[in-house]
Amino acid sequence: MAQKNDKYTYRVTWSEDDNEYVGLCAEFPGLSWLANTPEKALKGIREVVADVVSDMATNEEAIPEPIAAKNFSGKFMVRVPPDIHRKLALQAAESGISLNRIASFKLSQ
């Protein structure tokens, strides 16, 4: 049975291959649940996650932290080809803003 207070990130989408709705959990990418309605797909994946979390706790395994509970610094490194780096630096200079600001703007679009 799904925990009432789980804070994991769920998504339900249509699977054309299976001709059913599929429930997914971002923190457990290897798990899914197929059902004939979106509601049943969500309920099913939540129950599967609850069972897996229970088993992991029993086996003293590390349980994934919900994405919603994580603190993000707002910093991460992105590697790009040198020509893209040059192009972004030029755009930033011509716009009178920092490379960081232009990269942030482009990522937010």
| CB 45, CB 24: distance < 8 Å | yes
Sheet holding 10-15: strands in order across? 10-15, 20-25, 32-35
**Tokens (6 digits) for 59:** 């086996």
Q: What is the pLDDT of residue 6?
A: 87
pTM of the model: 0.73
Q: What is the pLDDT of residue 90?
A: 94
Mean pLDDT, the chain, integer: 94
